[in-house]
Amino acid sequence: MRCGRALGLLPGLIAACAPLASAQQGSILLAPVPVRAERMSELSAEGHSTTEIDAEDIERSAATSVAELIAREANVNLQSLFGHDKRASLDLRGMGETAMSNVIILVDGVRLNEIDLSGSDLSTLALSRIERIRIVRGGGAVRVGDGAVGGVIDITTRRPEAGRVTGSMRAEAGAYGTRKLDLSVAAGNGPLSLALRAARSDSDGFRRNGYLYARDGSAELRFTPDAPVSAFVRISRHVDEYGLPGPLPAAVLSQRASARRATANPDDGGRTDDMQYVAGGDIDFGRFGVSRLQASARRRDNPFVASCDGPPCSEAPIHSSRNALQFDHQIDIPSMVEARPHRIGIGVNNWNGDYARYSGDPATVGTNRVSGDVHSHGGYADLSLRVAERWTVHGGARIDRFRSRRVTETLRQPTLAIPVPPFVMPCASCPPVWTASEATSDGRWRNHARELGMRWEASDALSLHLSTTRHFRSPNIDELALAEATLRPQHGSTTEAGFTYRPGARRELALSVFRMRIEDEIHYGPEQLAGGESRNRNLPVPTVRHGLEFQLRWPLANRLEGALNFGYVRPRLQGLDMDVPSVPRRTASARLNWQMSDSLDLTLAVRHASSSADGNAVDASQTFARLASWTVADAGMRWAPAGLHGRPVVTLAINNLFDRAYATKQYNGSVYPMPDRHFMLGCNTSF
Which residues have CB under 8 Å from 644's CB, separation 6+? 18, 21, 22
Tens-digit pLDDT profile for residues 261-317: 999 889 999 999 999 999 999 999 999 999 999 999 999 999 999 888 777 788 889
Residue 598 is predicted with a pLDDT of: 86
Q: Is the peptide bond before 432 cis (omega within 30 degrees of 0)?
A: no
| Cα–Cα distance, 202 to 214 (Å, whole number) | 6
Residue 498: name the closest of 452, 544, 459, 467 by CA. Answer: 467
Per-residue pLDDT averaged across 479-487, rounded? 74
| DSSP codes joined into one string, 441-503 | EEEEEEEEEEEEEEEEE-SSSEEEEEEEEEEEE---HHHHHTB-TT---EEEEEEEEEEEEEE
Residue 643 is predicted with a pLDDT of: 58
| Cα–Cα distance, 549 to 589 (Å, whole number) | 12
Per-residue pLDDT averaged across 150-156, rounded? 95
Tens-digit pLDDT profile for residues 7-20: 444 444 444 454 44
Residue 686 is predicted with a pLDDT of: 85
Residue 288 is predicted with a pLDDT of: 93
Residue 548: name the closest of 515, 522, 500 by CA. Answer: 515
Residue 294: name the closest of 217, 353, 374, 350 by CA. Answer: 350
Q: Does 338 have pLDDT greater than 70?
A: no
CB 85 within 8 A of CB 66: yes
Q: Print the SS3 string covering 456-472.
A: EECCCCEEEEEEEEEEE
Least confident of 80-84, 116-120, 164-168, 312-316: 116-120
| Cα–Cα distance, 423 to 415 (Å, whole number) | 10
Least confident of 108-122, 139-153, 446-460, 490-504: 108-122
| DSSP codes joined into one string, 360-378 | S-TTSTT-EEEEEEEEEEE
Q: Does 153 have pLDDT greater than 90?
A: yes
| DSSP codes joined into one string, 205-240 | -SSTT--EEEEEEEEEEEE--SSSEEEEEEEEEEEE
| Cα–Cα distance, 179 to 447 (Å, whole number) | 46
Per-residue pLDDT averaged across 560-575, rounded? 94
Least confident of 214-223, 410-419, 618-627, 676-685: 618-627
Residue 41 is predicted with a pLDDT of: 53
Residue 312 is predicted with a pLDDT of: 79
Residue 34 is predicted with a pLDDT of: 39
Residue 476: name the closest of 402, 379, 409 by CA. Answer: 402
Helix or strand holding residue 9 (H, E): helix 4-22
Per-residue pLDDT averaged across 370-386, rounded? 92
- Architecture of the domain spanning 4-686: Beta Barrel (2.40)
Read off the pLDDT band of 3 (50, 70, 90): very low
28 or 272, greater pLDDT: 272
Q: Is the peptide bond before 526 cis (omega within 30 degrees of 0)?
A: yes
Residue 89: name the closest of 680, 682, 672, 676 by CA. Answer: 672
Q: Does 468 have pLDDT greater than 80?
A: yes
Q: Does 413 have pLDDT greater than 70?
A: yes
Q: What percent of the chain has pLDDT over 90?
A: 60
Q: Does 685 have pLDDT greater than 80?
A: yes
Model's pTM, two decimal places? 0.89
Altogether, the residues listed in the chain come to a count of 687
Helix or strand holding residue 8 (H, E): helix 4-22
248 or 118, greater pLDDT: 248
Residue 645 is predicted with a pLDDT of: 57
| Cα–Cα distance, 78 to 674 (Å, whole number) | 12
Read off the pLDDT band of 646 (50, 70, 90): low
Per-residue pLDDT averaged across 625-632, rounded? 95
3-state SS class at 316: strand
Read off the pLDDT band of 202 (50, 70, 90): very high
| Cα–Cα distance, 406 to 588 (Å, whole number) | 41
Instruction: Kindly report the number of other CB atoms within 10 A of residue 557's CB atom.
Output: 8
CB 328 within 8 A of CB 291: yes
| Cα–Cα distance, 432 to 440 (Å, whole number) | 20
Q: Does 27 have pLDDT greater than 50?
A: no
Phi, psi (rounded to 5 degrees) for 524? -125, 155
| Cα–Cα distance, 315 to 111 (Å, whole number) | 28
Per-residue pLDDT averaged across 50-74, rounded? 90
Helix or strand holding residue 280 (H, E): strand 269-284
Residue 32 is predicted with a pLDDT of: 38
Which residues have CB under 8 Å from 12's CB, separation 6+? none
| Cα–Cα distance, 572 to 139 (Å, whole number) | 21
| DSSP codes joined into one string, 84-108 | SSTT-EEEESS-GGGHHHHEEEEET
| Cα–Cα distance, 184 to 174 (Å, whole number) | 22
Q: What percent of the chain has pLDDT over 70?
A: 90
Per-residue pLDDT averaged across 396-420, rounded? 87
Least confident of 9-13, 329-333, 401-405, 548-552: 9-13
Read off the pLDDT band of 322 (50, 70, 90): very high
Q: Does 620 have pLDDT greater than 70?
A: no
Tens-digit pLDDT profile for residues 231-253: 999 999 999 999 999 999 999 99
Mean of the per-residue pLDDT values of the chain: 87
Q: Are strands 415-418 and 423-426 parallel, antiparallel or unpaired?
A: antiparallel
Cα separations (Å) of 182 from 128, 131, 437, 543, 684? 9, 16, 47, 44, 9
Q: Give the helix, strand, coil percentages of the chain, each rounded to 5.
A: 10, 55, 35
Residue 561 is predicted with a pLDDT of: 95
Residue 613: name the closest of 560, 577, 649, 566 by CA. Answer: 577
Cα separations (Å) of 64 from 84, 95, 316, 383? 9, 25, 31, 39
Q: Does 125 have pLDDT greater than 90?
A: no
Angle, CA 490 vertex, CA 300 and CA 482 arms, to 5°:
55
Per-residue pLDDT averaged across 565-581, rounded? 91
Read off the pLDDT band of 619 (50, 70, 90): low
